[in-house]
Amino acid sequence: MKRLRMAIATGAALLCASAAPGAQSDSANPTCPASPNWAANQVMSLTPVDRGNQRVLLAEGVITPGLADRLRDALAEDDQISEIWFRSPGGDAYAGNEAGRMLRSEFPGIITRIPSGWACFSACNFAFMGGQLRIVEPQGQFMVHMFTHTGNRDIIRQEVEAGTDSTLELIGEIEQSSAQLATEDNDFLIRMGVSRRLLSEVMYATQAVGDGETRRCLTQDEAYSYNVANVRE
């Protein structure tokens, strides 16, 4: 109940660590900063801290299997925690998905936040979207991994040289993998109340991707348009 009351009352601006706004953009991924501010921890650290009148959990580093259990334990041990702040380069996709589902089902009052200057990429997106109330601050980076298979071009070229049967087999594997991943992502977004347009217009929008582009950072308007963020402060 304490956590839910604090969630309802969230409108107060919080002090947070941040990178300087207006950082240089990435030439290969022009919507994103060249040096995203995500933690270098090889296993996501979970650190309860006080920020203003709030108790928050800093979730920083690489997402690995078992994150859902660790998050559950951290939140159960401290019922004053009202928010989780994410700073992560991603990691294990299934672990991120599992963490997001756990947060939504077991801690429905929790708020998830990407503070200004912090970046939440790939698997981190799904952990973040587990919050029923979600905040992406101005200059916070909700950084989406774009599933375009551009990284497989050299492999496909080698398979073409090896022969038609080999090429067709590889393309079939890629198509099957893509279809399965898209189905799982679609189901997750529906459960989290996020627009499925995020998949068609961003994550799998191969027609809109420049050569070599693999990352896409949502603008504030896009974050609210897709209902990735649903709380404005």
pLDDT in tens, 1-41: 456 444 434 443 333 333 334 567 888 889 999 999 999 89
Beta partners for residue 58, in sequence order: 47, 85
- Backbone phi and psi for residue 47, each to the nearest 5 degrees, phi listed first: -125, 115
- Backbone phi and psi for residue 135, each to the nearest 5 degrees, phi listed first: -125, 125
Write down the pTM of the prediction.
0.78
User: 2-11+25-147+178-225: which CATH topology?
Assistant: 2-enoyl-CoA Hydratase; Chain A, domain 1 (3.90.226)
Domain locations along the chain: 2-11+25-147+178-225
> What is the rounded CA–CA span in Å between residue 21 and residue 4?
32
**Nearest by Cα to 97 from 195, 211, 186:** 186
Q: Output the CA–CA distances (angstroms, integers) from residue 61 to 49, 107, 217, in the order listed.
A: 16, 22, 18
Q: What is the pLDDT of residue 21?
A: 47
User: In which residue ranges of the chain is pLDDT below 70?
Assistant: 1-23, 147-182, 205-213
